[in-house]
Structure 1
Amino acid sequence: MKNTLLVSLSLIVLGLCINGCNSSKKMLQRGNYYQAVMSSIEKLRTSPNNDKARNTLSQAYPLAVGTLMDKIDSEKASRSDFQFTQMVYIFQDLNAMYESIQRAPAAKEVVPNAKKYYSQLANIKPKAAQEQYLAGTAQLNLGTRESAKQAYFSFLEADKFVPGFKDVNKKIEKAYNLAILKVVARLKPIKSRRYNLSANIFYDEVRKVLREIEKDEFIRFLTPKQAKKRKLNKPDQYLVINFEDFIVGETHTQERIEKLEKDSVLLSTITLDDGKKRDVLGTVKAELNVKRMEVISKGIINLTITHGGFDKRVLMKQDFGGQYVWYNEWGHFNGDERALNDEQLAICNAQRIAPLPPQQMFIEFTRPIHAKLRNRLIRFYKRY
């Protein structure tokens, strides 16, 4: 058994190695020289004597270097707005191959004279930072939120190439502040002390949704108090949520009588003259009296989003309704018990019970509202 397991594991490892080598070779054949190099090196780390990986690496490495250097020449000739940025990425790929080879002794045997391009990369980075800085400045000067977003990313690139390049940190902060959609969110309290705690539980769930939306780094929701503290007199949007109307504990009682019959019920067993026994089947009847109490709680919540400019135009206005029905059934029957099914018997065995506390029913009717409100808010802010 042990030997069988070892053989199986060996075959699995061999299969993975063959597949890995085949994939590296396919990359080479398709002209993906860089990927072929990196894949071959990875295989040689775990299988230093893998002839296929060695062969692929020996072929792919000079082709990868040649292809990447050709791209460098093309970028120099193109004089595009981001030629130095592209050259940075290319030199980083060249150095990534060099570093991977240095960390794999078997790969060093195959490519003993791998080339490094640290000095070239160091010379190019300030030029790449400059072009990203200029691009960011041009976008920032346009003065729109979308252009500020582009500027923010350009300044981050500039800072990545040369940390602290010129006044890039100030530029990053300025672009970020202009790019953020600042929304003052007002969750109106309800005019009821009895349900104030329940409403706050609902609003806590709404705040979680707003935090979820804020995972987009360019949207921020502030309370009116926070906006006042930050002296934010002109936010981009106002978001208001309030309970338009609600009813808790609307009670209805109903009573119904059902005539029940069930056929082919065993009534008795008789003995025939010949001594054999025979079942006597027949119909049984009963009258079921069921009482039902329903307590209905429902409400409507309004969501309004308006533009923060002078026009205060309405961007979205929608009502969301929800309902929760608590009920209890109990009853009794007259007649043959066998005419009742299990559910009907359970009703007869049930006792009248008190409904949920009003505060809990308030929470229950807001659950479907929360689900609909969450989906609507996420869809709306995706566009920003």
Structure 2
Amino acid sequence: MRILLGVGAGIAAYKSAFLLRLFTEAGHEVRVVPTAASLEFVGRATWEALSGHPVSTGVFENVPAVEHVSLGRWADLVVVAPATADLLARAASGRCDDLLTAALLTVRCPVLLAPAMHTEMWQHPATVANVALLRERGVHVLDPEDGRLTGADSGPGRLPEPPSIARAALALVAPQDLAGRRVVISAGGTHESLDPVRFLGNRSTGRQGYAIAAACAARGASVEIVSANVALPAPTGVTVVRVETAEQLRSAMHAAAADADLVVMAAAVADFRPARRSAAKLKKDGGEPEPLRLELNPDVLAELTAARRPGQVVIGFAAETGDAETVLRLGQEKARRKGADLLVVNPVGESTGFGDVGTTVTFLDSRGEIVGAAEGSKDQVAAALADAAAAVLTDRLTEPGRTVARGGLD
């Protein structure tokens, strides 16, 4: 996809370098159009090096290319970050006194503006009116975050973090193949208490589950996350139900899955829990500790698969350790045992799979056959999973003998 990235003259312009990198690493071609004043914050050389394209700020640069028109026709998506109060005002009034605002008058693709400014500027009646007018015209304007601003100031006006901007922008051009569908996703890792202070847990951060939720919501789905011990902000438009233990997750998932079209078990559910929970903190008394006896937790994925209603699609995850051959073999055995429509197999370890790192996954069907694969960031894997889920849902809904009704099956 071709993305035009506009950069306004705010201190948050440095974040747009990270935004640019997110877009290019996802395979998109990006042209950067900064305002002249923004080059006081991030220089032209940075934008040219990161994008691989020359950078212009005025309509009298590279005149033969007529860039203020050609850029607008070239772009599939426009993102402006940061969008300052001045830039919002010029865009709202239709001014075209530099290359960026001139290009904004020629584009016919989706436009996302990500404002960043001091709280007083964001809340000023002029800015409020400009944002309302832009939204009325169909421009998508994000609300800024509440947080630390320039200097010691804090309040509404902070530029959202690059991944949030990227997700919101790409959602504008995402296929709406999950529109009208209800999706339930588990995310994070369960904690099983040993005593009031300690627990058995795992390294899952919930990033992959939250990325899947954002990808499905961007494609039109109504999404609910059953979130086990995750310290991440909820994706836009997604409902979050917070749980701690495997039993709590089990109850929440069964309740949420009852009327879901798609169920994704991305959480790392502890296989075992302590057979006995101490009512008081376990203390050292100078002797050897008592052996820790464990008991099995319920197999939530197997239960959801067994309870699957007609037309419903269930997707599970298999986090395995070992070399590539071992990971695949273990995943295939689990796929046949669980019977989910898809099983996503990924290698994990202390520095692999968990957290804000890239990952490699393989998609298996219920027979253990490889039906797809994905590699890259959590967002890229989530997009690939959403593609696969939408395809399975479409196949399921068009099976002989089924008729599709609004919001589900008859």
TM-score normalized with structure 1 length: 0.28
TM-score normalized with structure 2 length: 0.27
Structure with a larger share of its residues in helix? 1
Please identify the structure whose Cα radius of gyration is greater. 1
